[in-house]
Amino acid sequence: MEKKILLLDAHTVQAISVARSLKNSGYEVTGFMESKLSYGYVSRYIDHKIMCPKVLETSFEYLSFLIDFLKRNPHEIIIPMYNNSAELLSKEKGKIEKETSAMCAIPDYDVFIKAHNKEKLMDTCEKYNIPHPRTSFVDNNNVKEIASYVGFPSLIKPNISSGAKGIVLVNNENELCKKLPFVIKEFGRCTLQEFVDHTGIYYNVMLYRDKKGDCHESVVIKISRYFPLKGGTSCYCETIESEQLVQMCKETLEALNWVGFADFDIMEDKTGEYKIIEINPRVPASIHAAYISGINYPEMIIADLENREIRTYSNYYGKEMRFWGLDVMWFLFSPQRFSFRPSWFKFFGRNVFYQDGSWRDPLPMLMGCLQGVIKYMNPQFRKSKLIK
């Protein structure tokens, strides 16, 4: 009998690649979804699609729904796809594993929050001398002191957020005083972080650190197109080899005592120095870059949870990955639409792949384009995503 894996937030784009990886490894895949207008709902790789409450708005109802579902439909492992479900799963890991037969693919909350909370992560980097932007907690009472330490331009950053939501660029103390109260009111506790004067390129590093403290199979992607244009989700990247970036991330996971999958955002400033910006403590949208490089992280996660040996994979570099739905938006808004290299019009090639669909699973790509247009027409969505 096939083992059953439950994906939370399976309406997201990363669920497509994770489900595909799991299906290739012989697992049966169930997905919890908040919307039928989504990538996961139209993907052929998710066997069972379960509509569920919205985790952010109804966390208690969501948890009850989850536990009741698992009691009636036993699954071996739960893997979260997005921040909200990952945080809830980490907080309630003990309760879920006690009341059901499922194991939760997420660290315990005391470890999870040190990575998920941007202030705590930067404090860890500071303590262990890991390169990062100058960062400090800021509120309405310590503006002058923190502004003097961090300098300008700088970014107001909510401690807990995703996808650049709530990040605000400020160029002087007056702007900081004016904008900070609104960010705090909407998102809660914040930091002020040095603005990294970067080249327009940033990096993601994916790693798995097992229960023994060993790191497995790093994947590094170089991101050169993203949307929104001022700082958003990757829509074109390529896989590269960088031992320096991987070593920085290994040291960070060691300092956090992290167990599980982690995805780092790293920027390179114009002097050539790399700086860790944040960690996504769950599967990222760019997970498909690992799949096309020959690395099966979902299989790795399950093997470690089940105390099996994690196999060794061959990593193939030089793969190009496009997020078609976002890349269309990039083309519509970017002044580099015709000058960018490699050309936006390079649609096919031996090393060209799409993270939001494939010939064998084309509907998510079409759904993503529709979903992107609908979202971007919403003024509140644009306001939350753009670095102002």
In the chain, ranges of CATH 3.30.470.20 domains: 198-385
Which tokens in the block code for residue 68? 């009741």
More confident residue, 301 or 59: 301
| DSSP-derived pairing of the beta strands 28-33 and 48-51 | parallel
Q: Identify the CATH class of 4-107.
A: alpha beta
Which tokens in the block code for residue 322? 């496009």
Give the separation between CA 20 and CA 82, rounded to whole angstroms.
17
pLDDT at 200: 87
Q: Mean pLDDT, the chain, as a whole number?
A: 92
pLDDT at 2: 82
Residue with tokens 């003024």: 379
Q: Is the pLDDT of residue 284 over 70?
A: yes
pLDDT at 386: 46
Q: Is the pLDDT of residue 129 over 90?
A: yes
For the ranges 7-21, 134-148, 157-171, the one whose mean pLDDT is highest: 7-21
At 372, is the pLDDT very low, low, confident or very high (cuts 50, 70, 90)?
low
pLDDT by residue (tens digit) across 230-270?
A: 778 899 999 999 999 999 999 999 999 999 999 999 999 98
Which tokens in the block code for residue 41? 């709902």
Which tokens in the block code for residue 106? 């997420």
**At the fourth CATH level, which superfamily is domain 134-194?**
ATP-grasp fold, A domain (3.30.1490.20)
Pick the closest to residue 81 from 361, 291, 351, 280 (CA basis).
280
pLDDT by residue (tens digit) across 149-184?
A: 999 999 999 998 766 678 899 999 999 999 999 999
Residue with tokens 């002191």: 145
Q: Is the pLDDT of residue 385 over 60?
A: no
pLDDT by residue (tens digit) across 171-220?
A: 999 999 999 999 999 899 999 999 998 888 999 999 999 999 999 999 99
Report yes or no on whether pTM surpasses 0.75: yes
Neighbour order of strands in the sheet with 154-158: 135-138, 190-194, 154-158, 168-170
Give the separation between CA 279 and CA 287, rounded to whole angstroms.
14
In the chain, ranges of CATH 3.30.1490.20 domains: 134-194
Helix or strand or coil: residue 246? helix
pLDDT above 70 covers what percent of the chain?
Answer: 94
| DSSP-derived pairing of the beta strands 320-322 and 233-240 | antiparallel
| DSSP-derived pairing of the beta strands 260-269 and 233-240 | unpaired
**At the fourth CATH level, which superfamily is domain 198-385?**
ATP-grasp fold, B domain (3.30.470.20)
End-to-end CA distance of the chain: 52
Helix or strand or coil: residue 2? coil
